[in-house]
Structure 1
Amino acid sequence: MSTVYVDADACPVKKEIISISKIYDLDVVFVASHAHKKNTPDQGKWVYVDSSKEAADLYIMNHVRAHDVLVTQDIGLASLVLPKKVYAISPRGKAYKEESIVTALDYRYVAAKERRKGNYGKGPKPFTNEDREMFRLQFDKMLSNIAGEM
């Protein structure tokens, strides 16, 4: 049985993850830093890790297994779980794929190089209702495909 892991600190689609995962009877594990601890967390299991930069990533890397699902905005983390046969999707509904992740990492590297030179772009566009709906559609499709494979 697959588990859905969520890189939860800045995830805008937590409620959607819970509602869609219930349809497929999947457990959801939200991984967040202690700095983002909620007094009344959403449903699902919540794991709190150190506030250090990579703590949530390390927890996820050490716990995901083949056929699990990861929801993350972190391209680097997605690139590390894909070889483990983990499905990965962004909160905007973009499924990360092994064949295209290298290009995304290259783009991230070039953007980081430019920022170090003092050249800052506009940053990410605001999260919209269309992004939320795209996530709902793609996440449901992904979970349906996984259920069909099992």
Structure 2
Amino acid sequence: MKVIIDADACPKGVLSIAQNTCLEYGLELWTVANFNHNIRSEHHITVGNSSQEADIEIMNITKSGDIVVTQDWGLAAMVLAKGAGAISPTGRIFQAATIDFLLEEREIKAKHRRTGGRTKGPQKRKLLDDLQFRRELVRLIDEMS
């Protein structure tokens, strides 16, 4: 098992928590980001700046039993289909039973924005988000082990 982080939009606190948790559990931590990010990680993959390039690389290195940290619901769906786990930086563990609903919700919101509507962006990150991410990452590691 390894933990792979979609590091293009991952908060630095989440990266730090994941690094410490992987060290504690003896897991490899992989990060994938485009060349615009300066990420220090033993296993870091730098990709180009094209759309979805990081997601494609993450899919290429993800195996069944791995865990991917991402806020991209589409990537989470593909990861789950490979038998890997997926968790968001806020600690939401993605489930195969509910991912279709999330993807449908994403499409509805995108359609609303295309017609000039507005949707809420993410809330400012709080300490509680870090605590929840750590707790749920540990839970997912235990479930996947």
> Deviation above 4 Å: which 4+ runs of structure 1?
none
Deviations 1:41-69 (A, max 9, x none): 33431110011110000001111010000
Secondary structure of residue in 2 paired with 1:11:
coil
- The number of residue pairs the alignment matches comes to 143
Secondary structure of residue in 2 paired with 1:57:
helix
Give the distance between the partners of 1:142 and 1:21, measured in 2 at CA.
12
Written as runs of structure 1 = structure 2, the 5 A alignment for 1:19-38 is: 19-36=20-37, 38=38
Gaps of 5+ in 1: none
Residue 100 of structure 2 is matched in structure 1 by 102
Using the size of structure 2 for normalisation, the TM-score is 0.95
- Equivalent AA in structure 2 for residue 95 of structure 1: I
Residue 15 of structure 2 is matched in structure 1 by 14
Gaps of 5+ in 2: none
Q: 2:66 aligns with which of 65, 68, 71?
A: 68
Residue 4 of structure 1 is matched in structure 2 by 3
Q: Is the 8 A contact 1:90 1:96 kept in 2?
A: yes
Give the distance between the partners of 1:83 and 1:122, measured in 2 at CA.
29
Give the distance between the partners of 2:120 and 2:144, measured in 1 at CA.
36
Using the size of structure 1 for normalisation, the TM-score is 0.92
- Equivalent AA in structure 2 for residue 34 of structure 1: F
Q: Is the 8 A contact 1:18 1:44 kept in 2?
A: no
Give the distance between the partners of 1:14 and 1:130, measured in 2 at CA.
16
| TM-fit CA distance, 1:17 | 0.3
Deviations 1:71-101 (A, max 9, x none): 0000000001101100000000000010000
Say if 2:128 is the partner of 1:145. Answer: no
Secondary structure of residue in 2 paired with 1:120:
coil
Give the distance between the partners of 1:103 and 1:137, measured in 2 at CA.
24
- Equivalent AA in structure 1 for residue 33 of structure 2: A
- Equivalent AA in structure 2 for residue 138 of structure 1: E
Q: Is the 8 A contact 2:31 2:41 kept in 1?
A: no
Give the distance between the partners of 1:146 and 1:70, measured in 2 at CA.
12
- Equivalent AA in structure 1 for residue 90 of structure 2: R
How much is the aligned-residue C-alpha RMSD, in angstroms?
A: 1.0
- Equivalent AA in structure 1 for residue 29 of structure 2: V
Q: Give identity over the alignment, percent.
A: 35
Deviations 1:104-140 (A, max 9, x none): 0010000000000010122121221111110010001
| TM-fit CA distance, 1:24 | 1.2
